[in-house]
Structure 1
Amino acid sequence: MPSTEPKLISGNANRPLAEAIARRMSMHRGMQVGLVDARVERFNDQEIFVEVYENVRGEDMFIIQPTSKPANDNLMELLIMADALRRSSAARVTAVIPYFGYARQDRRTKARTPISAKLVSNLITHGGVERVLTMDLHAAQIQGFFDIPVDNLYASPIFALDILHQFDGDMSDVMVISPDVGGVSRARELATRIGAPLAIVDKRREKAGEVAGMTVIGDVTDKKCIIVDDICDTAGTLCKAATVLMEAGATEVHAYTTHGVLSGPAVERISKSVLKSMVITDTIEASDPVKSCPNIRIVPTAPMLAQAIVNIWSGTSVSSLFDTASLVPIYEGLYPRGMWGR
């Protein structure tokens, strides 16, 4: 007989996050929740092979697999795991993709270019996935690329908890900064949550990957600036924006970024920058240089993702996790409940 509990399976993209989600779900359910015993490995020619050792017939399965670097390998792992579960008669397959790769290719920016995010969504849908759970999609319209339900969680409630904790509830001189015009809505949401004003760094590019100049829109004099963004890749724009803010009169600059891609020279740039701190989440498994960088800190998403999985499995609201009242008990062990009364 099928079990009455959701079942988790993980690829190789972010095993520590999958294990953390399983631990949190064990706390929620009051019973041991582990990862389904399976092997996800490669043959000598790098073809991916999946074998599930447990019976999953009639089960509600959740595949935990961000499509981070190497994006193509991790995406194929996800698709092959989904196929293996469908062929094993799983009742439903939900893909938990904390970081959705290819999301930056969400539109045609010039002639004869692809919309890769749409292609990836088609692959996932036709691969047997019936629902997707993700976090901070680069563009909200990507949800419409799927012909299946998509639950897009937001990191801003977690960031709000962390900011109020780190700044001890004193928001009098804190200002939220959007690193570009396109990220204003994301920055505005966080600013509203913590009751802080908003400013924008307007950047101009002469060609892709190169920033020609930056201008601060708003008065940041004597402010503690918090730059908020969804993805940090090479950190060039972020570090330059921090320098511009300091030159404009800010007293200190912090950064909150959901997905720490941090490729190439990113960690070195951040360690040598004027950033006092940079906070990322664990949607992408942190490398050793990231873990050892003194001004990079990682906040967990496992509590929110675990609760979202339980809500999907039980048929209750996922959007309730956007509310502070619902989120505070989940993170109470990390951030004291009392600070919200200040």
Structure 2
Amino acid sequence: MANVQEPKLISGNANRPLAQAVARRMSMHRGITVGLVDARVERFNDMEIFVEVFENVRGEDMFIIQSTSNPANDNLMELLIMSDALRRSSAARITAVIPYFGYARQDRRTKARTPITAKLVANMIAEAGIERVLTMDLHAAQIQGFFDLPVDNLYASPIFALDILHHFQKMDDVMVVSPDVGGVARARELAQRIKAPLSIVDKRREKAGEVAEMTVIGDVAGKRCIIVDDICDTAGTLCKAAEVLVENGATEVHSYITHGVLSGPAVERITKSVMKSLVITDSIEASAATKAAPNIRIVPTAPMFAQAILNIWNGTSVSSLFETNTLEPIYEGFYTAA
């Protein structure tokens, strides 16, 4: 087998700006140019996906950077086909770097005769020849158990903690809010990192997509509230939660959401909402409308993913990136903790 000198990155069409940013960060760490492997990922006239890799990858440690975001089916198929192309080209190991893991919300059977699509996707990824998965803020932690291969699940909360400490400065009136009971563990983790109290918005749905009633558990009067969640899709629940918090006496409402799906009327709703700011990561490539929105801000994940890829390649700890203190030097130049 060839002597592997450097990890090699390849990207599909889902989020090329993030892939290029990861390559730039790795170049800084390694002191040499780390670029994306020259390849084409195209469509035939009937929209079938075709992949051709123009560089030799025999015996190489390959990392495919590809979120399975909208259009989820196309981006998932690109990932699988790229993996097959690399496997048939004798790559030594293939790691899928999936910043946003699509279909994660279908992780269990909520009623009769429904699929567990997250498990199906896990099976497809394994069958395509992928040997390891690197992702961030899975919608449900148990999805790691759907894979019969190593899965490293990074967390956005250390990045969010750095961002909050940098932008909020005075922390004595800050309160972290979970938008539902199911997200309490995620919100509690961030609250512990920034040493803030925790509140919960309890929501009840009459049917899917519609929130019938919201109740605030905890005293938010006079507080600057930070709503924490992993996914913001149409933003209906998020905007309503912000309104309820203001009605209960919150002075400001900010939101920190890992994956900004922001489909349909989401950006318009957020722009017109009472939220002072929405902070998302670049795990999903932002649309022009998202970038132009005055109260939406995007924080980078490339420094974290670049370091995680290097740690996997070197065989060192990935869990070290769960700590804010570890990320602080990686994000030097982005944030200075107060």
Is the TM value for this pair above 0.5? yes
Aligned residue identity for 2:143: I
Q: Could you tell me which residue of structure 1 aligns to residue 237 of structure 2? A: 237
Offset at residue 294 of structure 1 (A)? 0.2
| Secondary structure class of the residue paired with 1:32 | coil
Amino acid at match of 1:162: D
- What does residue 276 of structure 2 align with? 276
CA offsets 1:311-334 (integer angstroms, 9 cap, x no match): 000000000001122110000110
Q: Does 1:72 align with 2:92?
A: no
Q: Point out 4+ residue stretches in structure 1 off by more than 2 angstroms.
A: none
Under a length normalisation based on structure 1, what TM-score does the superposition of the two structures give? 0.98
1:86-165 aligned at under 5 Å gives the runs 86-165=87-166
**Contact 2:159/2:324, CA 8 A, preserved across alignment:** no
Give the corresponding residue for 2:32: 31
What is the distance in 1 between the residues matched to 2:281 and 2:10? 21
Match of 1:311 in 2: 311
Shift of 1:3: 3.8
Residue in 1 that maps onto 2:286: 286
- Decide whether the 8 Å contact of 1:2 with 1:57 is kept in 2: no
Q: How many residues align?
A: 337
Partner of 2:216: 216
Residue equivalent to 2:198: 198
Q: Say what the alpha-carbon RMSD is for the aligned residues.
A: 0.6
Q: How far apart are residue 160 of structure 1 and its match? A: 0.2
Give the gaps of 5 or more residues in structure 2: none
SS across alignment from 2:22? helix
Q: What CA distance in whole angstroms lies between the structure 1 residues aligned with 2:295 and 2:323?
A: 29
Distance 1:245 1:232 in 2: 18
Matched with 1:60 is 61
**Structure 1 equivalent of residue 45 of structure 2:** 44
For the 8 Å contact 2:161–2:324, the answer to whether it is kept is no
Q: Distance in 1 between matches of 2:57 and 2:332?
A: 34
CA shift, 1:270, in A, is 0.1
The one-letter code matched in structure 1 to 2:284 is I
Alpha-carbon distance between aligned partners in 2 of 1:163 and 1:283, rounded to the nearest angstrom: 19
Q: Deviation string for 1:226-252 (max 9, x for gaps)?
A: 000000000000000000000000000
Distance 2:234 2:159 in 1: 24
The separation in 1 between residues aligned to 2:209 and 2:80, in whole angstroms, is 31
The question of whether the paired residues in 2 share the 8 Å contact of 1:103 and 1:117 is answered with yes
CA separation in 1, counterparts of 2:215 and 2:323?
A: 34
Measured in 2, the distance between the counterparts of 1:323 and 1:277 equals 25
CA separation in 2, counterparts of 1:148 and 1:334?
Answer: 34
- Identity rate, percent: 82
1: CA distance, partners of 2:222 / 2:135? 37
